[in-house]
Amino acid sequence: MELTYLKILAEQYPTIASASTEIINLQSILNLPKPTEHFMTDIHGEYEQFIHVLNNGSGSIKRKIDEEFGNTLSIRDKKSLATLIYYPKEKLEIIRKTEDNLSDWYKITLNRLVHITKRVASKYTRSKVRKALPKDFAYVIEELITEKVEVEDKEAYYNEIIHTIIRIERAPEFIIALCDLIRRLVIDHLHIIGDVFDRGPGPHIVMDTLRQYHSVDIEWGNHDVLWMGAAAGSEACIATVLRIAARYGNLDTLEEGYGINLVPLATFALNTYQDEDCELFNIHYNKGYNTKDLELDTKIHKAISVIQFKLEGQCIRRNPFFMMEDRLLLDKIDFHAGTVTVEGKTYPMLDMAFPTIDPADPYALNPEEQQVMERLVHAFVNCEKLQKHVRFLFAKGSLYKVYNSNLLYHGCVPLDDNGDFRNVRIFDRDYSGKALYDILEHYARRGYYATDEEEKRKGLDILYYIWASPNSPVFGKEKMTTFERYFIEDSRTHEEKKNKYYELLDDVETINRILREFGLDERFSHIINGHVPIEQKKGETPIKCGGKLMIIDGGFSKAYQSKTGIAGYTLVFNSHGLWLAAHEPFESKESAILNETDIYSDAFIVETSSLRLRVADTDTGYEIRDSISQLEKLLRAYREGVLVEKGE
């Protein structure tokens, strides 16, 4: 088998010289500084803030500007340069209208951008930088950022190149190319630790941005899985997506962002609830919401909520192993007394107007509801843009990821009351720890890709289960009290108790056991976690267990910011170590461009390395060492005559 592999390798490296050159190249890469990773989580459709933090690399670009220019540039010039790098096209439009001597501005700016480009490119091989270069300007940029020993008057040489760029009126395009390249090189890889979707107005814009990003992985959050289930055709997931969109005034995201036709649902809601007061289904709208739609949206909100309770009830009933019977509440309503019984206690209902519920069979859709759902399923399954986004989530995503000694997941590893990995039944077998993640992901993929009807149905139901089950790693609470929050005044019924995991975030033994479960060395590894907002204003800290675990959800979503006191955490892992940034709320893209206002971020170091980390210390480094080992075997095979070099 090894000889067969070496023969295949010999096709790529047919001579001793070619194999030797590759070994030298790979060995040199091992000694380069570790590339920078950027971690973000719980974006929840807040696309403007997301794109700004992505563009500034959580402050990485400002640090590069400070490192390169120190005190030789004023604070104002540094801010202008940073804003240009974040938004080159938009900033250039303003500069062209306001700058008196455009030629001088181009010359100064191009020189500064070239200096920054040299700095950010210095930690990569020329080959990697070359692959990142924009096609139209690849040769010129390479000339400007590469030291040419043979040129005597280097300054004159480089100035002439810049002068020519300006003279032939290509400066704006060249500036945009350099800014794009700087952003590309400052962050080598992006991790999104769940929840792109729901609440905010632009998840589709976030997904379009991620699809264009050069290197990214996504650890699915419960809201992502919900949308994945909707795209796969799960009726329960589709109804829940629509209910949340209605609740937060984001139906436009579905209609305009994805082109999903909601007219059948709107017509049904108006006809069914035209004489009903739907005040319990008020809309939590943002400043961009068109209030003329308020009355209609409240009716849509109620209509789809009732449909959701029916559909999730059907899903729970056909899967007894879900162990979610406590969520079956429609059949616990006393339609004469106007009460509902929850966990043995009876409460008055705040609303009893249910024209579509048959008390004898409360989980059955009536014919009109069934027709609405059939049309919605067709719209979701055949929405080209949504399908592209969801296929991207499946291609680049997973329920967890191990990357450079970090374990990434959204939510928690389900634990029982004793703090041990909880045994969870999935169909006919029990799973816990890593195996639970693996089996749930297996069925999630079957729900989207399976052609066998029975397998697909199982997968569709599991996608709903991952969204709402108390045993789901990405939910992590004993129940989702949606029904109670709408219909019961007593706030004690609204409580959603968290999994035992959250009580043990500072327990070293528990965190080490989780790291070992996923194959990591607890001495050098970390858990990076999303899902539960850290309430900084109450003194909570995202750093747990002495730095072994970091929860970096601090409230990207505006819906959470009054609770957390900030607008999200992000994490950066570079060759010097790990550092967290706590972000203030983002005003707007327009303000960032016109007034050069950046997000104020309070950055603090989590962990520093006494020796600068190299590529050799990363997962890529392990792969490179394995490649070197195989190439050295190929060299021996050539030299011992086991394989014969191929002629030129």
**How open is the CA angle 127-132-137, to the nearest 5 degrees?**
105
Assess contact for 288 and 257: CB atoms under 8 A: no
Q: Which of 335, 364, 393 is the last residue in one of the domains?
A: 364
Residue 132: which residues within 8 A CB-CB, separation 6 or more?
Answer: 124, 181, 184, 185, 214
How many residues are given for the chain? 648
Is residue 464 in a domain?
A: no
- The answer to whether residues 56 and 143 belong to one domain is yes
> Which pLDDT score, from 0 to 100, does residue 553 have?
76
Picking from 162, 164, 163, the residue whose alpha carbon sits closest to that of residue 178 is 162
**Number of separate domains in the chain:** 3
Instruction: Specify whether 139 is located in the same domain as 170.
Output: yes
Tens digit of each residue's pLDDT (9 = 90 or more) over 84-118: 999 999 999 999 998 889 999 999 999 999 999 99
Identify whether 64 is part of a domain.
Answer: yes
- 289 and 142 in one domain? no
pLDDT at res. 197: 95
Q: What is the pLDDT of residues 486-496, one digit of tens each?
A: 999 999 999 99
End residue of a domain, out of 331, 364, 397: 364
| Domain contains 603 | yes
Residues 296 and 180 in one domain: no
Residue 156, token pair as written in the block: 């004159």
Residue 338 shares a structural domain with residue 241 = yes
The pairing of beta strand 569-574 with beta strand 549-551: unpaired
Q: Are residues 298 and 325 in the same domain?
A: yes
Residue 23 shares a structural domain with residue 152: no
The one-letter amino acid at 68? E
Domain shared by 283 and 348, yes or no: yes
For residue 563, name the pLDDT band (cuts at 50, 70, 90): low
526: nearest Cα among 412, 406, 402, 409? 406
Distance CA(156)–CA(304), nearest Å, equals 69
Q: Tens digit of pLDDT for each residue in 430-448?
A: 999 999 999 999 999 999 9
Residues 6 and 45 in one domain: no
Q: Where are the beta strands (DSSP E) in 343-388?
A: 345-348
Contacts of 254 (CB under 8 A, 6+ apart): 241, 242, 245, 260, 262
Residue type (1 letter), 477: K
Spatial contact of 398 and 441, defined as CB atoms under 8 Å apart: yes
Q: Does residue 12 belong to any structural domain of this protein? A: yes
One domain for residues 24 and 47: no
Q: Which parts of 268-338 are beta strand (E)?
A: 333-334
Q: Final residue of a domain: which of 326, 341, 364? A: 364
Please tell me the least confidently modeled range out of 117-131, 165-179, 276-290.
276-290
Rounded-to-integer distance, Cα 411 and Cα 641, Å: 56
pLDDT digits (tens, 9 = 90+) for 370-389: 999 999 999 999 999 999 99
Residue listed under structure tokens 């350099």: 178
pLDDT the model gives residue 583: 73
Q: The domain containing residue 268 runs over which residues?
A: 234-364
Q: Specify the pLDDT at position 200.
A: 87
In a domain, 390, yes or no: no
Could you read off the pLDDT of 590-624 as tens digits, one per residue? Answer: 877 877 766 555 666 777 877 889 999 999 999 99
Whole-angstrom distance, CA of residue 31 vs CA of residue 23: 13
| CA distance linking residue 525 with residue 472, whole number of Å | 24
Q: Check: CB of residue 615 under 8 Å from CB of residue 624.
A: yes
Distance, in Å, from the CA atom of 457 to the CA atom of 446, rounded to the nearest integer, reads 9
Residue 588 has pLDDT above 80, yes or no: no
Assigned domain for 134 exists: yes
The answer to whether residue 427 is domain-embedded is no
Q: How confident is the model at residue 392 (pLDDT cuts 50, 70, 90)?
A: very high
Residues 159 and 282 in one domain: no
Confidence of residue 167 (pLDDT cuts 50, 70, 90): very high
Band (pLDDT 50/70/90 cuts) for residue 25 is very high
Say whether pTM exceeds 0.85. yes
**Span 537-560, mean pLDDT?**
77
CA distance 481 to 151: 72
**Domain membership flag for residue 325:** yes
Give the pLDDT confidence score for residue 564 in this predicted structure.
53
Reported as a single tens digit per residue, the pLDDT across 501-538 is 999 999 999 999 999 999 999 999 999 998 776 666 66
Does the pLDDT of residue 147 top 90, yes or no? no
pLDDT at position 560 is 57
Average pLDDT over residues 244-268: 95
Q: Residues 83, 14: one domain?
A: no
Query: Would you state the pLDDT for residue 215?
Result: 95
Average pLDDT over residues 171-194: 95
Which residues are bridge partners to 578 per DSSP? 573, 607
Query: Distance of alpha carbon 240 from its chain centroid, rounded?
Result: 20
